[in-house]
Amino acid sequence: MKPKTKHPLFLIVIAFCCTVSITCASNNKYKQPKKSDITMQDSLKEAQKLAQSLKRKGISDERVLTAIANVPRHEFIDKSLREHAYIDRPLPIGKDQTISQPFTVAYQSELLQLKPSEKVLEIGTGSGYQAAVLCEMGVDVYSIERFQELHLTAKETLNKLGYHPNLFFGDGYEGLPDHAPFDKILITAAPKEIPQKLKQQLKIGGWMVLPLGGSQGQKMTVVKRVSKDKFTESVHGDFIFVPMKEGTAE
């Protein structure tokens, strides 16, 4: 009797099926998403909607809108406030401070007119959200916070999300003389007067965006360094920020 051998076509079919199943298993499209992935995907959808609403409110820099759409804002606030994370509102972050309203974050970022790789100093790290938006825009971020606890929490959140700005615990009025000059400086708390040491840490041709004024409200101001000793100022609307205070705190 002739020994029973498998037909070569049969072997080819088996080999084909194995290859297809291996390819599918390694392809994300066919993977069952983990619960945490689903939450992150939902959040980014919410962040996208938030960016669209900011566009309707007048933000036109697409790079700013894309950055807002890519940052999971809920990660920067307490879990109990999760449902408010993607509403255009400031929210408490402890120490009597707030994460800025998304419109304000976008408005200040737009006024900075950032170019990739520019060196940017932020005063008032707070939750770290604005720093994350700046990182998304591809700039070299330096940020100072006067509350040690907020500084440490922001660092943890940012690093967990894969953002690695240069974070400092200290008094923003001093700036960072060792890292100056900066292309742009962004102040996210309100000083009553333009901080002189920060002006001197601007590159010539660079500028600073700050809410200028007392507790009754501030004017969003852009201070441009046009030459070594010459600065110009322009005003861009009314806002309310927490005050910029001197010194550091626990």
- For the annotated catalytic residues, the residue numbers are 100
Select the residue interacting with ligand SAH from 171, 182, 207, 220 (CB under 6 A). Answer: 171
Residue 167, interface with ligand SAH (CB under 6 A)? no
Residue 100 contacts ligand SAH per CB under 6 A: yes
In this structure, the number of other CB atoms found within 10 A of the CB of residue 126 comes to 26
Please list every residue from 173 through 202 that binds ligand SAH, using CB under 6 A.
Answer: 173, 188-189
Can residue 165 be called a binding residue for ligand SAH (CB under 6 A)?
no
> What's the Cα-to-Cα distance from 56 to each of 49, 50, 51, 81, rounded to whole Å?
11, 10, 9, 25
Considering only residues 40 to 99 of the shown chain, the ones binding ligand SAH according to CB under 6 A are 97-99
Give the nearest distance from C-beta 226 to ligand SAH in angstroms. 26
Question: Is 245 a binder of ligand SAH (CB under 6 A)?
Answer: yes
136 lies in the binding site for ligand SAH (CB under 6 A): no
Closest to ligand SAH by CB, 37 vs 156, is: 156
218 near ligand SAH, rule: CB under 6 A: no
Q: φ, ψ for residue 122 (rounded to 5)?
A: -105, 135
User: Letter for the amino acid at 214?
Assistant: G
Residue (28 or 158) nearer to ligand SAH, CB: 158
Residues engaged in binding ligand SAH (CB under 6 A): 97-100, 123-124, 126-127, 129-130, 144-147, 150, 171-173, 188-189, 242, 244-246
